[in-house]
Amino acid sequence: MTRINLLVARVVLLGICMLCISSVSVWAEEIKISLTAHTLKECYHNKGQTASGQFVRTGIVAVSPDLERKGLRLGTKIKISDIGTFIVKDRTNRRNRGNVDIYFPSYEKALQFGRQNYTFVQTRTD
């Protein structure tokens, strides 16, 4: 092999190795969130329809725009310890920061839940 061919082979091999390493990198980020409860009563302006086009129901959450920019986009499944697994289907008002709204069918249960602070660990495999 000539020196040029050997150099090209090494560059190609290095590129393949970098691609393999970067495709399986895993990272985790701790995000402090504020959980709040909401009911259909708070969704009066859109008659209960979420940003995804579905109607509010148990098991879905709305996230603030800053959390959406961090990767919690519509359709993302999230697990909140001690509470359950939810799917992001809506967005909160843009003035909210670090907020996740959980839907409750009962206004009394929503009041009882109130506002709670949690640390959410987001992991992603790229």
CA distance 64 to 92: 5
CA distance 49 to 97: 22
Residue 1 to residues 6, 27, 44, 119, Cα–Cα distance (Å)? 6, 41, 73, 57
**57: amino acid identity, one letter:** R
Which pLDDT value is given to residue 43?
59
Residue-wise pLDDT tens digits, 26-75: 556 677 788 888 877 665 555 666 666 676 778 888 888 888 888 888 88
C-alpha–C-alpha distance, residues 72 and 120, integer Å: 11
**Quick one: pLDDT band at residue 125, thresholds 50, 70, 90?**
very low
pTM above 0.85, yes or no: no
Whole-number Å distance between alpha carbons of 26 and 14 = 21
Q: What is the pLDDT of residue 31?
A: 76
CA neighbours closer than 13 Å in the CB half-sphere of residue 69: 6
* Residue predicted with more confidence, 4 or 94: 94
Residue-level pLDDT at 33? 84
At residue 59, the pLDDT reads 85
By three-state DSSP, how is residue 54 classified? coil
